[in-house]
């Protein structure tokens, strides 16, 4: 109940988000990780579902068998799922229509006009510039080799004559890596031309550079926690069901 109330509160304008706006402590990072406050409604829904079924179960345990848990629980869960489908469907229908209009009215771009996911300083006028920028110009021959099955970008570098910096047509973000395939080493990355991912190459370098995304270890840990939680919940439910079946069998024997 406490978590449900907290999640509902955080999804409203009455939660002091403005107090967290300029903070950089761990609490602010934790609360703002979901980015949009309305996403806390999903957490509230989960907590309220558990709370509803748990409350009905407790009522029956204490002799208030008004609901008949199995039947009522199934019906309640079914109704809640239907309501969620309607709400989510309506939201995405409205959002999709709005987004379509925004894209139609936004010149030639097909992206969010507020540049929410762009690195600071990136010029939206150059979004579709797919050229590779070298400094100094013409220091090497670079060709885009394509994309592999893991959605990693491949660039082939040939004839490096002088030490130089090269900026690829990929926005510079954390956790993007540049890997020299033939040498088997990771290259240091930094923000180059128009906040694009750049690397420094030494004279004589020849080979393929693979640019890929490396998942943050915190996210990997979160995936593991989620997977273990799901497994433990399934195991607990199965064991509870087996205990219930054994109990009914013993009563029948008696």
Q: How far apart are CA 131 and CA 134, in angstroms?
A: 10
Q: What rounded mean pLDDT belongs to the chain?
A: 76
The 10s digit of each residue's pLDDT in 37-77 is 888 888 888 898 888 888 877 877 776 655 555 566 666 76
pLDDT of amino acid 247: 63
Characterize 231-247 residue by residue with b for buried, 16 or more Cβ atoms within 10 angstroms of its Cβ, and e for exposed. Answer: eeeeeeeeeeeeeeeee
Backbone φ and ψ for 52, nearest 5 degrees, come out as -65, -50
The pTM of the full predicted model, rounded to 2 decimals, is: 0.51
pLDDT score, position 122: 76
pLDDT tens by residue, 181-222: 888 899 999 988 888 889 988 887 888 899 998 888 888 899
State residue 224's pLDDT score: 94
Q: Which of 12-16, 81-85, 105-109 is modeled with the greatest confidence? A: 12-16
Whole-number Å distance between alpha carbons of 57 and 3: 19
Determine whether 138 is exposed, middle or buried from the number of CB atoms within 10 Å of its CB (0-12, 13-18, 19+): exposed
> Each residue of 143-182: pLDDT tens digit?
777 788 777 888 888 777 777 888 888 888 888 899 998 8
Instruction: Return the DSSP state at 127.
Output: T
Quote the CA–CA distance of 49 and 82 in Å, as a whole number: 13
Residue 23 has pLDDT above 70, yes or no: no
pLDDT tens per residue, range 132-152: 877 777 666 777 777 887 778
């Amino acid at each position: 109940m406490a978590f449900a109330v907290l999640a509902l509160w955080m999804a409203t304008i009455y939660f002091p988000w403005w107090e967290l706006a300029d903070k950089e402590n761990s609490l602010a990072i934790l609360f703002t990780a979901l980015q949009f406050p309305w996403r806390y409604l999903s957490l509230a829904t989960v907590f309220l579902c558990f709370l509803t079924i748990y409350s009905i179960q407790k009522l029956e345990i204490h002799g208030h068998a008004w609901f008949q848990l199995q039947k009522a629980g199934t019906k309640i869960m079914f109704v809640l799922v239907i309501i969620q489908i309607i709400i989510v469907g309506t939201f995405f229908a409205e959002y999709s229509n709005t987004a379509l209009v925004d894209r139609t009215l936004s010149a030639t771009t097909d992206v969010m006009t507020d540049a929410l996911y762009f690195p600071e300083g990136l010029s939206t006028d150059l979004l579709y510039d797919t050229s590779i920028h070298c400094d100094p110009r013409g220091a090497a021959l670079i060709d885009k080799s394509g994309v592999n099955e893991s959605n990693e970008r491949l660039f082939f570098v040939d004839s490096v004559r002088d030490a130089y910096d090269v900026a690829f047509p990929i926005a510079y973000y954390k956790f993007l890596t540049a890997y020299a395939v033939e040498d088997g080493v990771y290259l240091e990355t930094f923000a180059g031309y128009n906040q694009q991912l750049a690397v420094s190459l030494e004279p004589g370098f020849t080979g393929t550079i693979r640019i890929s995304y490396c998942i943050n270890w915190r996210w990997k840990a979160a995936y593991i926690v989620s997977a273990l939680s799901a497994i433990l919940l399934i195991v607990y439910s199965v064991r509870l069901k087996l205990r219930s079946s054994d109990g009914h069998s013993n009563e029948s024997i008696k």
